Structure 1
Amino acid sequence: MHAVPDVDYPLDGPGCVQETAPPLSPAMMLDPSQGSKSSSTEDSGVDIPPVKGIPRFFFPSKHALSDERRQELRTQVKQLFISSDTGDERCLALSDLVCVSAAIGLPRYLTLALFRRAREATPVRIGDDTGASPHQSVRWIEVDRVLSAIDAYTTADITQVGFNLLKGQEQTVLLPADLEVVARDVIENHPAFEFLATSPNFQDRYIDTVVARIFYIKPRGMNGQMTLAEFRLMNIIEILNKVNLAKTSVSPLMPSLFSYKDFYVVYCKFWELDRDRDMLLAQEDLESYGCDALSPKVIERILDGYAMPQLALHTGKMTYKEFIPFIMSVEDKTTNAALEYWFRCLDLDGDGVLSLLELETFWNFQSPRLNDRFKTDDFFSVIIDLVKPQSRYQIHLRDLKRNRPAARLFLDLLIDTQKHLENLRRLVDLGFRIYDRVYMDDEDDDTTARSLQALGDPDSKGRVPLEGWEKYATRTYRELASIEIDSQRRRQQLMLRRDQRCVDIDVIAIDSIAVEVSRSAVVTGAGFASNDSQLSNRSRQRSASKGNGSLAGGNGAGGNRARKNGRRRGF
């Protein structure tokens, strides 16, 4: 800053410096003749005191609350901190603070943000009279200070109140870190996400996915910041109210930004590509996406950081946060964010124009990958006839946004082989067109079904067709779910077979033991029977020998020979 010299300029002449009236001020609206009269020395007879500091344009807020309403709202919030039993002031935990959010009109899943703001603005307390833990509860004075700071008592514009609650005290815009508290409130407190309570790693990935998608689809470019106007255009407050109405995490009534279905698809695709499990994707990993669908040249541009400059680490690899806008831009090339994403990749010199030389550079990489061998001149003719740019030999971003279906066909032909082949097949194959259609899931509740029909135009059968990212996410989730169900079924069958095999082995063992027992019993019984027969035979022989002996004894020598033979035979 340079000091302005104290110079006396003349009132008239070439060096005269005169203060001009601001545009659209009452002084500019005066007639020249009236201006000359007002500058005369005649006194009007009315003393008008000079007024300073009034803005040129002042419009009172349409949502301003009256003084009575402000006091009533403040008293209503204060009553929530009064104990119904003792009448004393009490502290409210996070779960009890939901009633405060409802009283001022905030969505349920901004309660955690209110709780944290109240805790951050409060010095550390040793304890309180109610016995509640100071780290898990807040007092009335703390919440009242926050509500006054975010204009909750002065305006009925809940969008502005929610924006003021999420942004930092010294900030004028929202940053990605400011919206993490909203996603964490949903993942930790929504009943539909209870199954992720024991998986903190998946909770963190879910939060990253939600925040990245919010900043990806915001209206005015991917600059990493969100203004109040963008926050209002995206209807964040209305989206959070719909989250509270959804019964399941994959319900069609769950907004796409917070749907577990979308998160599951993105994370599974990243996990399939990340072969070394370092949460980074190299060029060879991205080249395998979609069965080698993308051109190597455009993948190189993405990894160099031209697609998402604010997220790129310039390390030659892609992080999970960078993968989220990547997969959404690949699968739906008709959105503003996707068109801007691919335009930055194709614009090699960064002048905001796609020249024929730049298109030829990418076509040289893509042409060998296609079955249709277009010559370069034929390719230029196809592109010009398809996009119809205002300048014949230059394509601007506005040309692509003006004709989005043609822009999608143009990008598929130039950088995405698989999508281009699907476009060709969709033109000639009726069966593929029928197969390619995806409809929204049916709901049992009639009220829910009517709400689903309000989300899109149903066909003759009352089904709501899906397009773009919703179509891809729904189809992929169904495929992944069917694969998971089949794998679980196979595991159950293997376990049943293993159990049956163990049972068969036990039965065989029992049968073998029974056979051995019966065999030993038979052997033992046979031994007893042989011994009995031998004893009976011996007794018969002894009786016979005695008879012969008596008879021979009378003869003398004959009886002696019989006795000798009996001794030899063991009797």
Structure 2
Amino acid sequence: MKWEMCSVEPFNNGVVKETELKDNGTKDHPSYKAIPKFFDPPPKPEDKDRVLLLRREAHSLVLQDQAEGLLNTEELNELWRILEKHVTETIRSKRQLISLDDYLVVVSEVSAKCQKLLTVGLFFELMQSSNYPDMLEIVSIYNHIVRRISIVQGRIGLSSYDGFGQGYLSESDLESFITDIIPKLAQIRDCMQPSFERFYVCTVVKKIFFFLDHLHMRRIRIRDIVSSGLLSQLLELHDKTNSKEREKKGATNCFSMPAIFAVYENYLDLDKDHDGMLSREELSKYGSGSLTSIFLDRAFEMCRTYGGKMDYKSFLDFHFAMENRKSLKCLPALHYIFRILDINQQGYLTAQTLRYFYDGIEVRFKTLKAEAVNFQDLKDEIFDMVGPKDPLNITLKDLINSGQGETVLSILIEFDKFLAHENREGNPQNV
């Protein structure tokens, strides 16, 4: 419907009065030809699909730009050729070494893209782990560049699953990423049964979220995944030679098939009735089987259950916390256990809290018909170990700062750990 603007009439006081618009009933009124076109209207709010498509297209162009800045196979081959050309010395073991002066010559001959990677700072960074004075193996330089490109490619790959370009991934986003890269991970692809794929993906995703989302925001920043080193470990699995090198060093990739399958096998061993879920009774056999009943009750209260049973995803959080509590750097594990112990959701543990969980330890003493430790003595020892800022309350920060977090939490939830602590060498009570 078109509208015609009628004449305006001035009043005596100078105010202009505009008459009502009238429908001229035509589509080609000449007045419309004089109206300039200011802009193309944006998609309507209800046109969500179009908005999302435009955003994704813009995000895709940015990622494409970043990918073009990486070295391709041909450029990497050229880098290796130039490195070999300027080797300073080849020792008896046929290792090819290069000095800083010859390294600078290499930098002057490579492409502009490669020069951005081959900095003087890189030379001295690699020198810190070099076995040769004032020289580097050229293979260490080449491998560093390859790894760096691989990480950037991984970051770009992760970003392509961030549909809104906000720098975050949800669990489902990360699941899609892991599923799609499995065919490129030779160490996984060549030994995994198709039926196990969903369990592998689930375990990897939950592990990454456990370490990077301990506040349960249900999303993690892409840059946190990259900086954590977890992406690097995952991408190492694309090359089978990395597996042999790790074995020689006695290290295990936490995303390798043996590591992931060991977690799944543990779950299957606990699931005695084979219903795919864990009851409280079944979980009580976890580890040494000495977790207290009070702690297990609280664990089931705090996690999502189905008919009172724990599923595989909830078990993974529990398992990662138990396995990593010894590491002082693993704050998510301490945070997980602390959250279970903090029965009143106050953010700290009191003497009453310690008493509540010590009851579980005391029950085990009675079962063994042994004399229990005096709680008052234990309470004083714990507060002395932690040295909290508030002498009446122990916060998670207090536990972390004291360096005794794993010890304190373990002796409150696991009978075997409690006994080991009480019977340790140097315990005054044993002297």
- The normalised TM-score by structure 2 is 0.57
1:170 deviation in Å?
6.5
After superposition, where does 1:185-224 map in structure 2 within 5 Å?
185-197=180-192, 199-218=193-212, 221-224=215-218
Matched residue, 1:257? 254
Q: How big is each residue's C-alpha offset from its partner over 1:199-247, in whole Å with a ceiling of 9 and x where there is no partner? A: 2222211111111101111166343210244234313543344333443
Indicate how the Cα distance of structure 1 residues 314 and 301 shifts in structure 2: closer, same or farther if over 3 A, else same: farther
Indicate how the Cα distance of structure 1 residues 403 and 243 shifts in structure 2: closer, same or farther if over 3 A, else same: farther
1:185 deviation in Å?
4.2
Task: Supply the distance in 2 between the matched residues of 1:408 and 1:71 (Cα, whole angstroms).
Answer: 43
Q: Is the 8 A contact 2:186 2:239 kept in 1?
A: no
Task: Supply the distance in 2 between the matched residues of 1:283 and 1:299 (Cα, whole angstroms).
Answer: 7
Task: Supply the distance in 1 between the matched residues of 2:70 and 2:374 (Cα, whole angstroms).
Answer: 76
Matched residue, 1:546? none
After superposition, where does 1:172-571 map in structure 2 within 5 Å?
172-197=167-192, 199-218=193-212, 221-247=215-241, 252=246, 256-304=253-301, 306=302, 308=303, 312-313=304-305, 315-333=307-325, 334=327, 335-370=330-365, 373-404=372-403, 406-423=404-421, 427=425
Task: Supply the distance in 1 between the matched residues of 2:343 and 2:424 (Cα, whole angstroms).
Answer: 32
Larger C-alpha radius of gyration, 1 or 2? 1
Task: Supply the distance in 2 between the matched residues of 1:267 and 1:316 (Cα, whole angstroms).
Answer: 21
Task: Supply the distance in 1 between the matched residues of 2:241 and 2:263 (Cα, whole angstroms).
Answer: 22
1:172 deviation in Å?
4.7
Task: Supply the distance in 2 between the matched residues of 1:250 and 1:303 (Cα, whole angstroms).
Answer: 40
Task: Supply the distance in 2 between the matched residues of 1:191 and 1:157 (Cα, whole angstroms).
Answer: 19
Q: Report SS of the residue matched to 2:218.
A: coil
Q: Report SS of the residue matched to 2:246.
A: coil
Task: Supply the distance in 1 between the matched residues of 2:294 and 2:272 (Cα, whole angstroms).
Answer: 22
1:176 deviation in Å?
1.2
Q: Is the 8 A contact 1:196 1:202 kept in 2?
A: no
Indicate how the Cα distance of structure 1 residues 203 and 211 shifts in structure 2: closer, same or farther if over 3 A, else same: same
The amino acid that maps onto 1:269 is N
Task: Supply the distance in 2 between the matched residues of 1:233 and 1:75 (Cα, whole angstroms).
Answer: 19
Q: Report SS of the residue matched to 2:241.
A: coil
1:397 deviation in Å?
0.8
Q: How big is each residue's C-alpha offset from its partner over 1:71-109, in whole Å with a ceiling of 9 and x where there is no partner? A: 9949999x9xxxxxxxxxxxxxxxxxxxxxxxx99xxxx
Task: Supply the distance in 2 between the matched residues of 1:207 and 1:385 (Cα, whole angstroms).
Answer: 44
Q: Is the 8 A contact 1:192 1:248 kept in 2?
A: no
Indicate how the Cα distance of structure 1 residues 275 and 237 shifts in structure 2: closer, same or farther if over 3 A, else same: closer
Q: Is the 8 A contact 1:295 1:415 kept in 2?
A: yes
Count matched residues. Answer: 278
Q: Report SS of the residue matched to 2:383.
A: helix
Q: How big is each residue's C-alpha offset from its partner over 1:257-299, in whole Å with a ceiling of 9 and x where there is no partner? A: 3122221221111111101111100110011223431111111
Q: Is the 8 A contact 1:212 1:324 kept in 2?
A: yes
Q: Is the 8 A contact 1:219 1:230 kept in 2?
A: no
Q: Is the 8 A contact 2:161 2:169 kept in 1?
A: yes
**Structure number with higher strand proportion:** 2
Indicate how the Cα distance of structure 1 residues 73 and 367 shifts in structure 2: closer, same or farther if over 3 A, else same: same
Task: Supply the distance in 2 between the matched residues of 1:205 and 1:410 (Cα, whole angstroms).
Answer: 33
The amino acid that maps onto 1:388 is G
Task: Supply the distance in 2 between the matched residues of 1:71 and 1:174 (Cα, whole angstroms).
Answer: 19
Q: Report SS of the residue matched to 2:310.
A: coil
Q: Is the 8 A contact 1:273 1:281 kept in 2?
A: yes
Task: Supply the distance in 2 between the matched residues of 1:187 and 1:270 (Cα, whole angstroms).
Answer: 23
Q: How big is each residue's C-alpha offset from its partner over 1:489-538, in whole Å with a ceiling of 9 and x where there is no partner? A: xxxxxxxxxxxxxxxxxxxxxxxxxxxxxxxxxxxxxxxxxxxxxxxxxx
Task: Supply the distance in 2 between the matched residues of 1:163 and 1:414 (Cα, whole angstroms).
Answer: 40
Q: How big is each residue's C-alpha offset from its partner over 1:354-376, in whole Å with a ceiling of 9 and x where there is no partner? A: 11112111111222324562222
Task: Supply the distance in 2 between the matched residues of 1:326 and 1:293 (Cα, whole angstroms).
Answer: 15
Q: Is the 8 A contact 1:249 1:261 kept in 2?
A: no
Task: Supply the distance in 1 between the matched residues of 2:318 and 2:67 (Cα, whole angstroms).
Answer: 50
Q: How big is each residue's C-alpha offset from its partner over 1:277-335, in whole Å with a ceiling of 9 and x where there is no partner? A: 1110011001122343111111111112x2x5xxx246421111111121221233142
The amino acid that maps onto 1:258 is F
Task: Supply the distance in 2 between the matched residues of 1:71 and 1:295 (Cα, whole angstroms).
Answer: 53
Percent of aligned positions with the same letter in both sequences?
Answer: 25
The amino acid that maps onto 2:163 is G
Name which structure has the greater RCO, CA cutoff 8 Å, separation 6+. Answer: 2
The amino acid that maps onto 2:289 is D
Q: Is the 8 A contact 1:162 1:237 kept in 2?
A: no
Q: Report SS of the residue matched to 1:180.
A: helix
After superposition, where does 1:65-104 map in structure 2 within 5 Å?
73=68
Q: How big is each residue's C-alpha offset from its partner over 1:450-507, in whole Å with a ceiling of 9 and x where there is no partner? A: xxxxxxxxxxxxxxxxxxxxxxxxxxxxxxxxxxxxxxxxxxxxxxxxxxxxxxxxxx
- The normalised TM-score by structure 1 is 0.44
1:169 deviation in Å?
3.1
| RMSD of aligned Cα (Å) | 3.5
